[in-house]
Amino acid sequence: MAMKLAASGVACCLKPCLLADHRLLPAKVPYRSLLTSSSPNSRRHFPICNGEKRVSYTRTAPVESTEEELQEDSDELEEYVEEEYEEDLGDDILADDFKDFEDEFLDKNDDSDPQVGDGGGGGGISLAGTWWDKEALKLAEETSHSFNGTFKLYAFKTLVNSTIRLRIEKMSTKYGSPTMDDIEAFSSAYQLRLDEAGQAGTIPNDITLEVSSPGVERVVRVPEELERFKDRPMYVRYSIMNKEKGTVQEADGVFNLISLDLQSLHCTWAIADVKLNRQKAGKGRQLSKKLRQWRLLLPIDALRLVRLHCDS
């Protein structure tokens, strides 16, 4: 692998454990975990471990107990056992609720760590394996073709709870971003086909449809979309060979594509002039000349993930 690195000042935008001059921090990929999400619902749910409770009920009885006292003891014990039973039953119900919530939450936040072809933020198709999902996909493709190439399916995903999540891109725009009117038009056309199929019994008649755009930090298909987004900063995760250890490791950063050679199957990257990289170079400082001139040459097959970077 050919890789051109500048001297020590350049390493600030790369992982310190991977290169000879290791003084730059990696770009951070934002993600949201289940229990720290900003979703208000997530704060009211948490894992519940079910198990038999070890009940210890000890009472020191007087030497002589009246019949009334014995009855009170019996009533108290019975009430305690009922409360424990109800609590255990409640735990079971909450655990079931949490499982449903967890599945729904993780599905709705599939942009947190997009993977190529995940049917969500990473694009591609992801089928749940239901009896109806292939028919639903066929109808989505037919709907796309009915717009004469204006729209293309970016991502298609089915869930076992009769939900379809679909992302479209508008091919007449450079970055593929549809408007709200575009999304509404596609949704209406697709919903009509779903309703007809539901009446025919080829899919469930209670399908939930969600249509959206690819997203501001969409995954870039490699290599076919690299040139398309050449003027946009991109988060790149790639593999490199650590010659000292003889192992393949991963590094990442936010770069701009300089060139793409499909004959040699190599691509050249430069450090992007974005807020994240400027912060690493030093608070309130611009990228130095050395950083601006730094180049990274990689084989295309070393690219593990490429997505657009939104500079906030």
pLDDT for res 121: 85
Average pLDDT on 118-145 reads: 95
pLDDT at 106: 43
End-to-end CA separation in angstroms for the chain: 33
- The yes-or-no verdict on residue 123 having pLDDT over 70 is yes
Residue 279: its H or E element: helix 275-281
Distance CA 271, CA 68 (A): 84
- Residues 219, 305 contacting (CB under 8 angstroms): yes
**Which tens digit of pLDDT belongs to each residue from 62-103?**
444 555 555 665 566 555 545 554 454 444 444 444 444 444
pLDDT digits (tens, 9 = 90+) for 159-171: 999 999 999 999 9
pLDDT of residue 246: 84
Q: Where in the chain is the domain with CATH 3.30.300.20?
A: 124-212
- What pTM value is reported for the model? 0.62
Domain 124-212: which CATH class?
alpha beta
CA 221 from chain centre, in angstroms, equals 16
Buried b (16+ CB within 10 A) or exposed e, 73-98: eeeeeeeeeeeeeeeeeeeeebeeee
pLDDT of 247 above 60? yes
Q: Which residues contact 284 (CB under 8 A, 6 or more apart)?
A: none
How does the average pLDDT of the chain come out, rounded? Answer: 75
Find the DSSP H helices in 1-146.
Answer: 67-108, 133-145
pLDDT for the residue 77:
54
Whether the pLDDT of residue 33 is over 80: the answer is: no
